[in-house]
Amino acid sequence: MNGNGNNFSNWEGEAFEEMLFDYLDNGYLENIITFFEHEPEQIKLIPKMLADERLRVKVGAFAIIEELKVKNPVALQEIVPDIIKLLNSKEKNVRGDAAYALEIIGNKEARPALIEALTKEEDPQVKEFIEDALKSIQ
């Protein structure tokens, strides 16, 4: 508890997120995967990782998703709504990464959002990611 009587964790806030993302960007992927295995409530950071501009952070997010799909697939379902929101990003890379992440997770509840995103998408490469996700999620 802090001085105001509120509970808080050492694993939250912008400073923590920045540190975690920097660790990923600096190549500490295995350490970060282990962290997520032990702190599954931090999974909420994965959509933010997908929206990050740094390639290693995005690749790290995919690696974490793939690892958690094997070890804790139920936890991944919690972030599907936040990943779906990324399908509306102004950045085409973020939209494509969101579709790919949804494909990996394989949650059928993402299909309507992917179908809607496909009807609005203008970028051919992003369309392909969305189509692949739809084919994969049956």
- Look at residue 22 and tell me whether its pLDDT is greater than 80: yes
* CA-based radius of gyration for the chain: 16
Helix/strand/coil (H/E/C) assignment for every residue in 7-59:
CCCCCCCHHHHHHHHHHHHCCCHHHHHHHHHHCHHHHHHHHHHHHCCCHHHHH
* Of 104, 96, 84, residue with least CA distance to 127: 96
Query: For residue 5, what pLDDT band results from cuts at 50, 70 and 90?
Result: very low
What distance in Å separates the CA atoms of residue 135 and residue 138, rounded to the nearest whole number? 7
CATH class assigned to 14-136: mainly alpha
What is the CB-side half-sphere exposure of residue 99 using CA atoms within 13 A? Answer: 29
Cβ contacts of 118 within 8 Å, gap of 6 or more = 127, 130, 131, 134
Question: Locate tokens 């964790």: which residue?
Answer: 9
Domains of the chain, residue spans: 14-136
Q: Which residue shows structure tokens 């994965």?
A: 46
CA-CA distance, 42 to 118, in Å (whole number)?
A: 30
Among 12-26, 56-70, 91-105, 115-129, the minimum mean pLDDT is found in 12-26
Q: What is the pTM of this model?
A: 0.88
Q: Tens digit of pLDDT for each residue in 85-136?
A: 999 999 999 999 999 999 999 999 999 999 999 999 999 999 999 999 999 9
